[in-house]
Amino acid sequence: MIKNKKGALEFSFTWIFAIIAGIFILFLAIYGVTKFMNIERNSQDAKTAMSIGVLTNPLESSFETTKRTMISTPVETRIYTGCKNLSGSFGEQTIKVSQKTYNEWSTGGVNVSFPNKYIFSENPAEGKNFYLFSKPFELPFKVGDLIYLTSTKDKYCFKNAPNDIKKEIESLIGINPSANENFFTKTADCPEGSINVCFIGGNDCDIKVNANSKYVDKNGEKMYYEGDALMYAAIFSNKNDYECQLDRLMKRTGQLSDIYRDKSKFVFEKTGCDSGLDFRLVLLKNTAENFGNSENLNIIYSIADDVDRENDISWECKLW
Amino acid sequence: MVMKTERKIKSKKAQGMKSKISPASPFAKKAQMKIQQMSFMLLGVFLFFALVGMIIITVKFSGLKQDATDLRDRNAMLLATKLANSPEFSCGEAYGNQKTDCIDEDKVMMLKEKENIGKYENVGKNTNFWGVSNIEIRRIYPKYESITCTSTNYPNCDRIILIDKPISGFDHSNFVALCRKEKYKNEVVNKCEMARVIVWYEEVK
């Protein structure tokens, strides 16, 4: 009896020890694997975000017409675009990606920053295929390319668009629209659940474009614009991002005004060719640097028009 | 009497129990031995998994570095082809009609000035505005003896170094037109020459 009891004690202690240690090792292994999987998913997200940014490089336009490209991801993806206007001299465009694996969205990798990009999109844009197109932003010289990112899941129905806009969108769609097409100019073609972009009144409008007062009304918020590039920007993004990106563009306008003023002096010194733009460029720079919000766009645009006229007149000494 | 005998047995049992857990007992030694064996075994298993884990992580992260370098490579390659269209470089209509892949040399010389280029450098975490390490424009024709351009020797030079960081990396380049304003026989003329825009990127270590 005593011998049996001894055996029972020895057996149970060994087993208890093994079980506790086993649980500890198993727990560590599971924890490690989970952590490793998360790191792997985050790195995959970061890689995708970086790739999206890199793939927008060819969208830098010269004088060619608006063009569109498609990017596809192997799994359902959410692209979060953000704007930081306080970092660095020109602010930053951030891109973050979250991907769906095993029916679960990843927490989202790190924010990848691009100081030279201006992306306008829904936040997040969700899907497997995304269309990208760009338009140059000029004030009056080219300041940057505005990139518009839309998911093929989000169908945009442009109702009563002016002819130039309609033509531009039709040129983006092309002669044979693809199955993934998400832009429609004919109301009859618009699929159910489309995002309705109305130009002259209309029913069921999600986004209203007021071409006379030059503002886009989206989610009850007004975003003022000048020119088509900013109009598209307002249509595809939200108020916060739009204003932040405008602020970044104004910072770059200010810096480019400085470069053009320096160039004007430089060219004058070596050739005697005077553009006569020095004062106006200082004014443009100061206005850009003190830019408040999109409501003040008309002020800076009137100065820019003036600068552009003067630049066109001095054709021999044209700065841009 | 019976009670006394029972007490004796109980005390003997207790003594027996006591002797079982005594370290001097051969049973205790055997148990200790088993515990030691078990702990060494567990330690071995634990170390084995830790080592395997570390090897996997090292292999994975070296792949990640390669991926990061590949992305930088792709960025540099695409940037080299499109940099000439960026507002800080492009000719616009300053030299006649709009030109594609045309760099305004006068503008770039002004961008090179410290107060201007300084704003484009170090805008983010160890990166500049264009996300590459170095940018250089090299005139191909007419050729000088690899003279770096400054405001004093311009335009009799052939290398405009915009961003120059000592790096070990790779480069991508693209051919462009390099245009400037010049005075010729009391007239202002546009002069365009052939050049190469070179973009360097750093390898991720």
Work out the number of other CB atoms within 10 angstroms of the CB of residue A9: 15
Record: contact B74-A2, CB cut-off 8 A: no
Amino acid at A226: E
Cα A166 from Cα A185, distance rounded (Å): 6
Q: What is the mean pLDDT of residues A128-141?
A: 93
Q: What is the per-residue pLDDT for A55? A: 84
Q: Which of B64, B71, B87 sits opposite A143 (nearest CB)?
A: B87
Window B:119-178, CB contacts with A under 8 Å: 119-120, 122-125, 127, 129-131
Q: What is the DSSP letter of B148?
A: B
Tokens 């070596």 -> residue:
A270
Cα B136 from Cα B200, distance rounded (Å): 9
Please check whether residue A236 is in contact with residue A245, taking contact to mean a CB–CB distance below 8 angstroms: no
**Could you list the pLDDT tens digit for every one of the 205 residues in chain B?**
444 555 555 554 444 444 455 666 666 777 777 778 877 887 888 888 888 888 887 777 777 788 888 888 888 888 888 899 899 999 999 998 888 899 999 999 999 987 888 888 877 666 789 888 889 999 998 888 889 999 889 889 999 999 888 777 889 999 999 999 999 888 899 999 999 999 998 888 7
Give the residue from B21, B40, B42, B190 with the most A CB atoms within 10 Å of its CB, the best one to mutate.
Answer: B42
**Which of A22, A18, A39, A17 lies closest to B49 in space, CA to CA?**
A22
For residue B96, the enclosing domain spans: 1-205
Q: Which of A25, A40, A61 sits opposite B45 (nearest CB)?
A: A25
Q: Which of A2, A21, A267 sits opposite B181 (nearest CB)?
A: A267
Q: What average pLDDT does chain A have?
A: 89
A91, closest residue in chain B (CA to CA): B123
**Which of A264, A251, A160, A138 lies closest to A208 in space, CA to CA?**
A160
Work out the number of other CB atoms within 10 angstroms of the CB of residue B108: 22
Q: How far is A144 from chain B (nearest CA, A)?
A: 6
Whether residue A182 has pLDDT greater than 90: yes
Window A:71-110, CB contacts with B under 8 Å: 87-90, 92
Where in chain A are the domains?
1-152, 156-237, 245-317
Q: How far is B130 from chain A (nearest CA, A)?
A: 6
Question: Hey, is the C-beta of B10 within 8 angstroms of any chain A C-beta?
Answer: no
Q: What is the mean pLDDT of residues A184-211?
A: 90
Q: What is the per-residue pLDDT for A162? A: 93
The pLDDT tens digits of the residues spanning A77-132 come to 999 999 998 867 899 999 999 999 888 898 877 889 999 999 999 999 999 999 99
User: Which of A9-18, A240-249, A303-312 is predicted least confidently?
Assistant: A9-18
Whether residue A69 has pLDDT greater than 50: yes
Number of domains, chain B: 1
The pLDDT tens digits of the residues spanning A297-310 come to 999 999 999 999 99
Record: contact B107-A10, CB cut-off 8 A: no
Please check whether residue A242 is in contact with residue A294, taking contact to mean a CB–CB distance below 8 angstroms: yes
Query: pTM to 2 decimals?
Result: 0.83
Q: What is the per-residue pLDDT for B185? A: 87
A67 burial type by CB count under 10 A (0-12 exposed, 13-18 middle, 19+ buried): middle
User: Taking CB atoms and an 8 Å cutoff, what residues of chain B touch A54?
Assistant: 71, 74-75, 78
Q: What is the per-residue pLDDT for B2? A: 47
Residue A152 or residue A56, greater confidence = A152
Question: Hey, is the C-beta of B87 within 8 angstroms of any chain A C-beta?
Answer: yes
How many contiguous H segments (helices) and E segments (strands) does chain A have?
6, 13
Question: Hey, is the C-beta of B197 within 8 angstroms of any chain A C-beta?
Answer: no
User: Taking CB atoms and an 8 Å cutoff, what residues of chain B touch A307?
Assistant: none
Residue A226 or residue A40, greater confidence = A226
Amino acid at B154: Y
Q: Which of A17, A142, A272 sits opposite B38 (nearest CB)?
A: A17
A1 — pLDDT class (breaks 50, 70, 90): very low
Calculate helix-pair angle for A239-271, A297-313, nearest 10 degrees.
20
Record: contact B181-A259, CB cut-off 8 A: no
Record: contact B123-A25, CB cut-off 8 A: no
A203: Cα within 13 Å, side-chain hemisphere: 1
ipTM for this prediction: 0.84
Q: Which of B42, B104, B181 sits opposite A21 (nearest CB)?
A: B42
Q: How far is A14 from chain B (nearest CA, A)?
A: 7
**Which of A295, A92, A312, A107 lies closest to A213 in space, CA to CA?**
A295
Cα B34 from Cα B30, distance rounded (Å): 6
Q: Which of A17, A64, A88 sits opposite B123 (nearest CB)?
A: A88
